Amino acid sequence: MDIFWQLFLQGVILTVEYALIATGFGIIFSTTRHFHIAHAGVFTLAGYTLFIFVSLLNIPIIGSLILAVLIAALAGIGIYRGIYDQVLKRGGTMMTLFIAALGTLAVIENGFQAIFSATPQAVESESMYKIITIFNGTITLAQLIFVIVGIIVLLGLQFFMLKTKTGRLIRAVAVNPYLSQIVGISIKKINMICYAVGSALVAIPACYITIDAGALSGRGLELVIISMMAVIMGGIGSFVGGWIAALFVGMFFNLSVLHVEPHWQSAVIFVIFLIMIMVRPRGLFGQRA
* Terminal CA-CA length for the chain: 41
Amino acid occupying residue 1: M
Q: Rounded to an integer, what distance in angstroms lies between the CA atom of residue 74 and that of residue 197?
A: 10
Q: Rounded to an integer, what distance in angstroms lies between the CA atom of residue 34 and that of residue 101?
A: 9
Closest to another protein by CB, 71 or 226 = 226
Cβ(229)–Cβ(166) under 8 Å? no
Q: How many residues does the chain have?
A: 289
Shortest CB 226 distance to another protein, Å = 8
Q: Rounded to an integer, what distance in angstroms lies between the CA atom of residue 180 and that of residue 249?
A: 35
Shortest CB 176 distance to another protein, Å = 7
Q: Rounded to an integer, what distance in angstroms lies between the CA atom of residue 56 and that of residue 221?
A: 25
Which of 200, 206, 198 is CA-nearest to residue 109? Answer: 206
Q: Which residues bind another protein (CB under 8 A)?
A: 35, 83, 86-87, 90-92, 95-100, 102-107, 109-111, 113-114, 117-118, 176, 178-179, 181-182, 217, 221-222, 225, 228-229, 232, 261, 263-264, 266-267, 270, 273-275, 277-278, 281, 289
> Which is it for the CA torsion 65, 117, 74, 154, positive or negative?
negative
Amino acid occupying residue 232: I
Shortest CB 263 distance to another protein, Å = 4
Shortest CB 128 distance to another protein, Å = 29
Shortest CB 266 distance to another protein, Å = 6
Shortest CB 185 distance to another protein, Å = 13
Closest to another protein by CB, 6 or 110 = 110
Closest to another protein by CB, 105 or 170 = 105
Closest to another protein by CB, 132 or 179 = 179
Q: Rounded to an integer, what distance in angstroms lies between the CA atom of residue 266 and that of residue 249?
A: 9
User: Helix, strand, or coil here: 77?
Assistant: helix
Closest to another protein by CB, 78 or 137 = 78
Closest to another protein by CB, 136 or 222 = 222
